[in-house]
Amino acid sequence: MTKNFEIARISSVHRDQYSILGNYGEVFAEITGKLLYEAQNLIDKPLVGDKVEVEYFNNNELAIIHQIKKRTTILKRKTAGKKIDYQGIAANIDYAFIVQALETDFNLNRLERYLVMINEAHIVPIIILSKKDLLTKEQQDAILEELENRVKDYQIVLFSNKNGENLDQIRKLLKKDKTYCLLGSSGVGKSTLLNNLLGAEIFATKEIREKDGKGKHATTKRQMIKLKNGALIIDTPGMRELGNIDIKEGLNITYDEVTTFAKDCLFNNCTHTHEKKCGVLAAVENKKLSQKRYDNYIKLRKEATYHSMSYLDKRRKDKNFGKMIKRVLKNTVKNHRR
């Protein structure tokens, strides 16, 4: 690293403009032309949470980003809509909070979808369920039971932003110098939680819900802040859809018991869908593996395979296109020289 460079973290991204968090607080920053030029994919550009080498100028009020340090983790998903490509959500995350609202948003299939994405990135997932104040004790117990039948071995906290219940439990999970992010649908209370943790109304929240209950997202960009205890948290806009590409490992970690049951399959290449003597199907039959969990596993696997194949196909076409351009350019030069 050059002498004048310092290390900072990307705290927010807006197109090609960045904010960084470093030795002089939060400062605006831009990336060098070289870095911009070399970034072939979206994922090569700085992401929130990235550690970067920067050079300050203008009395440390502005900075130039020269280099992105190697990421310890990267959280990514398929870009929304039909486009098959990766979109980086955040970098260097240690723990990801999956936030669902107990009252309206609780959904186990979606929860597993998040778990796959987070496990794929080797980030530690934590499940936190908001709006506890809106449910009776019986309703809460029913949800907890459902949850424990489907996903095991994760930290789970039911809490309320409204009356503050169990916020201290969430606070206890936040450690100095560790990076966290909040993931979940719009309106579940991510930004409200962050404001509660900060003890100040820093983040805009959605106080008025439109008639259809959907409305617009209150949060529109990812942003990282530092809590008093030194923990870093990234707030994200609610995700409407969550597509996964390349999640073999994420699936294996999230559904680790499938791998165990698969040891009893007769065929090595068993797909666990129609084969005879399949250990996984037997486990479903014997109720060792819940039907719903199995169904979701098959669904996510199928979808991810489709996306991965489309992605490879796209890359191949891009490559061929690149080659064609090169050929055309070469011929043009040749013709020109003649």
**283 binds Zn ion, rule: CB under 5 A:** no
Least distance from Mg ion to the Cβ atom of residue 102, Å: 18
Contact (Cβ atoms closer than 8 angstroms) between residue 98 and residue 114: yes
Nearest 5°: the CA angle 326, 330, 332 is 115
Task: Return the one option of ligand GTP, Zn ion, Mg ion, none that residue 278 interacts with (CB less than 5 to 8 A, by type).
Answer: Zn ion
Least distance from ligand GTP to the Cβ atom of residue 199, Å: 15
Nearer to ligand GTP, 214 or 317 (CB): 214
Nearer to ligand GTP, 27 or 233 (CB): 233
Please count the other Cβ atoms lying within 10 Å of the Cβ belonging to residue 267. Answer: 11
Query: At residue 245, what is the residue type?
Result: I
3-state secondary structure at position 223: strand
Task: Return the one option of Mg ion, ligand GTP, Zn ion, none that residue 280 interacts with (CB less than 5 to 8 A, by type).
Answer: Zn ion
Least distance from Mg ion to the Cβ atom of residue 161, Å: 12
**128 binds ligand GTP, rule: CB under 6 A:** no
Nearer to Zn ion, 121 or 278 (CB): 278
Residues 22-59 as b/e (b if ≥16 CB within 10 A, e otherwise) read: beeebbebebeeebeeeeeeeeebbbbbbbbbbbbeee
**54 binds Zn ion, rule: CB under 5 A:** no
**100 binds ligand GTP, rule: CB under 6 A:** no
**280 binds Zn ion, rule: CB under 5 A:** yes
Q: Which listed residue (138, 153, 168, 207) binds ligand GTP by CB under 6 A?
A: 207
Q: Which listed residue (49, 88, 189, 243) binds ligand GTP by CB under 6 A?
A: 189
Contact (Cβ atoms closer than 8 angstroms) between residue 96 and residue 75: yes
Supply 51's token pair: 């550690």
- Residue-by-residue DSSP string for 180-195: EEEEE-TTSSHHHHHH
Least distance from Mg ion to the Cβ atom of residue 96, Å: 16
3-state secondary structure at position 250: helix
Nearer to Mg ion, 73 or 205 (CB): 205
Stretch that binds ligand GTP, among 143-151, 200-208, 272-280, 329-337 (CB under 6 A): 200-208
Please count the other Cβ atoms lying within 10 Å of the Cβ belonging to residue 68. Answer: 19
**191 binds ligand GTP, rule: CB under 6 A:** yes
Nearest residue to 114 via CA among 128, 98, 95, 91: 98
Taking the C-alpha atoms of residue 109 and residue 115, their distance in angstroms, rounded to an integer, is: 10
Least distance from Mg ion to the Cβ atom of residue 193, Å: 9
Least distance from ligand GTP to the Cβ atom of residue 42, Å: 21
Q: What is the binding site for ligand GTP (CB under 6 A)? A: 130-131, 133-134, 160-162, 186-192, 205-207, 217-219, 237-238
